A and B are shown apart, each in its own frame.
Chain A
Amino acid sequence: MTPETTDTTTPLPAAVPDEPPIPANRLRRKDLVGIAELSVEEITLILDTAVAMKEIASRPIKKVPALRGKTVVNLFFEASTRTRTSFEIAEKRLSADTLNIAASTSSVVKGETLADTVHNIEAMSPDLLVVRHSSSGACHFLSRICRAGVINAGDGMHEHPTQALLDAFTIRERKQRLAGLKVAICGDLLHSRVLRSNVLLLTKMGADVWLCGPPTLVPAGFERSGVRITSSVDEAIEGADAVMMLRIQLERMLGGYFPSLREYFNVFGMTPERVQRARPDVLIMHPGPMNRGVEIASEVADGPYSVILDQVANGVAVRMAILYLLAGGVEHEAVA
């Protein structure tokens, strides 16, 4: 048996350069736990790197050896299809060895603490942990007790930094900039980690951010984050360059935040008529999963302004960039 056949990495055709054309740079940090910790320069570096990564998806052989020999564990304590799949594809395209652990199959159900679970995984020397957890701050906690780098794939109601980065990538790809754009974010603001990461990122990058939702679902004191808050959808999307819809979790209705899904859609749902108030080249975005007919009408979700599936595609490129910049950067430079 030759080494090539035992290698999980597909050998690259000679025509494709060994190295993706990426900036010889990296994030000088062990973890990516939130947008809050990132500088404008770091955000720009990730987005620029993702441009190069996106090109790989268009190749006949969608794989580069950047993370060969690196082990990435996707540790999901909360259900996820989109984000976990996106990370897994990103890891495989970079030739990392990946392992998925879902909470339902882990020792957590046996009463093991988060710290013990992660220390056990760490004993097997992973390089990166991609973590989703229902508790806000869980990734910050893990980043302090782990040797491996921690990438936050969503912590409670706190942050979902890779989502905000792929959203920014999607907007920038279409608009060539973020600064000065009016971005409206509508829906369940209170419980959304996508919202918090997007607000942090977009305000850092100079966008004009408007939030819209029922007052019962607006986080207390949020004006201090430098955004405008309104309960009028029309005001929020007037002249908007991008409109992000946030999922209404059906169980929230039981918490008494609003009377019915019917009424929610009537007051806050994104309809083709309402979209008319935005700029003609508006981007309609949704982090998924969507509730058609609750926060967004199907005509809008599937309409000409929708970039919802672009977001999903870009998610892979952005996550490749993050994985590469955190785990691949150093040795990659050394090889080069």
Chain B
Amino acid sequence: MKRLLRGGHLVDPLQGIDGVRDVLLDGDRVAAVGQDLPVGTDVEVIAVPAGCIVCPGFVDMHVHLREPGQEHKETIATGMAAAAAGGFTGVACMPNTQPVNDSAAVTRLILERAALEGTVHVYPIGAVSKGMKGESLSEIADLRGAGCVAISDDGKPVSTALLMRRALEYAGMFDMPVIDHCEEPTLKGEGVAHEGYIASMLGLRGIPATAESIIVERDIALAEMTGGIVHIAHLSTRQALRGVLAAKSRGITVTCEVAPHHFVLTDERLTGPVSYDTNLKMNPPLRERADVDAILQGLRGGTIDAIATDHAPHQADEKHVEFDRAPFGIIGLETAVSLTLDRLVHGGVITLRRMVQLMSVNPCRILNLPGGTLRPDRPADVTVIAPSSTVTVDLSKSRSRSRNSPFDGWTLRGAVVATIVGGRTVYVNDGIPAAAAFGLAVARA
């Protein structure tokens, strides 16, 4: 089936396009991009509504889908639905499931479940170490063969410098990135909030910025030593960002991502309006103003490669407890695009073109995925956004199985209009009347 997205404003940095183009999709591939493409009789024509931006599909490279093992928090199906509603055509899922994704069997289970849903792409990330115990390497070639796109022990750092060295060396032969959750465990201790004035006044144990930067520096040194590929997950501090900038300027292969909550919120929020809100507890924690300012600078300047949500679903009862007893993490798939448009694009920090780099081009490049552009013959994965449409976050309508977000009720400028994966529409925003043009695919190919 051919579908023509007609007359939309296409932002595709890899093709150098930022203007009105038709995009012709043929099955699961892009067939052509151009102005006033001819319309054949076998083509479904979709007139892209005014005010919409057509982008290569966004990929969230840091998501916790919780299945297998913690289906009360999220399932692969609900996580994929949330991703589609958030404008993501693909998600990379972290291995800290139960059992851990440290074997081809678990990877295949994830991919089979995802295939049953048949909506967004799911790219499993395998564990660096067996059982994520930080002792010995998991069977990385096997994981890769089964479909893993990267390795990580996310939730905790790669335990030792030696294991990180081995992982970089070994995964390097497949050009697989090692994604590290950078946090020195003894400095973190029992910390639950950013170490500083706010945590001190609230009597919360602190997680110092240095706990992050010291491991970032370790990983950079090991990347330089081994030539391996390091990707820093959810970078949150100015100190770590400074390290990444210096490493990049020395030509070391290191990339990094930031989560929307780390460029939208600071630790001041812990004092109210809802003090000790467990939906403000995540790891890394909300940092201070100077860190947020540095991250905004890194997003603007190019030091930061990707925006990734660290979507971490937790069931309501698990969060309805004392702050220090609550699990870390918030959901993020359905709010990331609106937060990015509102705070970064409308906030004058970045352009739409840069947003597409952060949410599509670079995640695909880092994970060696075929998307990131709507060049002919590439996947027909498209995210359509309406930067000027206003949305109000309503968690009760979330597709995720969990509701742990601090953004409920926030009104943001910038909306997802439709999500197209493999040429099929997998999400249409029914809050935007014009979005109906994209039609929801009824039958599966």
Residues of A within 8 A of B (CB): 36, 113-115, 133, 135-138, 140-141, 144, 155-159, 193, 196, 219-222, 224-225
| Number of inter-chain CB pairs below 8 Å | 68
Q: Report the minimal beta-carbon distance from B318 to chain A, rounded to whole angstroms.
A: 10
Given contacts A136-B203, A140-B276, A158-B202, contact A220 B197 (CB under 8 A): yes
Assess the A144–B197 pair: CB atoms within 8 A.
no
Ordered by A's residue number, 28 sampled pairs between the chains whose C-beta atoms are within 8 Å are: A36-B201, A113-B320, A114-B321, A114-B322, A115-B320, A135-B323, A136-B203, A136-B204, A136-B324, A137-B203, A137-B322, A137-B323, A137-B324, A141-B321, A141-B323, A156-B324, A157-B203, A157-B205, A158-B202, A158-B203, A159-B203, A196-B201, A219-B200, A221-B195, A221-B198, A221-B200, A222-B197, A222-B200
Q: Report the minimal beta-carbon distance from A99 to chain B, rounded to whole angstroms.
A: 22
B199 contacts chain A at the CB level, 8 A cutoff:
yes
Which A residues touch B321, using CB under 8 A? Answer: 113-115, 141
Assess the A220–B200 pair: CB atoms within 8 A.
yes
Which A residues touch B201, using CB under 8 A? Answer: 36, 196, 219, 222, 225
Q: Pick the contact of A136 from B202, B317, B320 — CB < 8 Å?
A: B202
Cα(A21)–Cα(B275), bound, Å: 37
Q: Pick the contact of B325 from A135, A140, A219, A220 — CB < 8 Å?
A: A135
Cα(A135)–Cα(B199), bound, Å: 13
Assess the A224–B276 pair: CB atoms within 8 A.
no
Q: Pick the contact of A220 from B206, B320, B322, B323 — CB < 8 Å?
A: B206
Assess the B275–A225 pair: CB atoms within 8 A.
no
B246 contacts chain A at the CB level, 8 A cutoff:
no
Q: Report the minimal beta-carbon distance from A108 to chain B, rounded to whole angstroms.
A: 11
Cα(A27)–Cα(B371), bound, Å: 62
B208 contacts chain A at the CB level, 8 A cutoff:
yes
Residue from the set B195, B201, B204, B208 with the largest chain A CB neighbour count within 10 Å: B201
Q: Report the minimal beta-carbon distance from A256 to chain B, rounded to whole angstroms.
A: 10
Q: Pick the contact of A135 from B197, B208, B324 — CB < 8 Å?
A: B324
Q: 5 additional contacts, CB 8 Å, given A221-B200, A222-B200, A224-B197?
A: A36-B201, A136-B204, A137-B202, A137-B204, A219-B201
| Nearest B residue (CB) for A115 | B320
Q: Report the minimal beta-carbon distance from A133 to chain B, rounded to whole angstroms.
A: 7
Which A residues touch B202, using CB under 8 A? Answer: 136-137, 158
Given contacts A137-B202, A140-B276, A158-B203, contact A221 B197 (CB under 8 A): yes
Cα(A115)–Cα(B316), bound, Å: 12
B274 contacts chain A at the CB level, 8 A cutoff:
yes
Cα(A156)–Cα(B192), bound, Å: 13
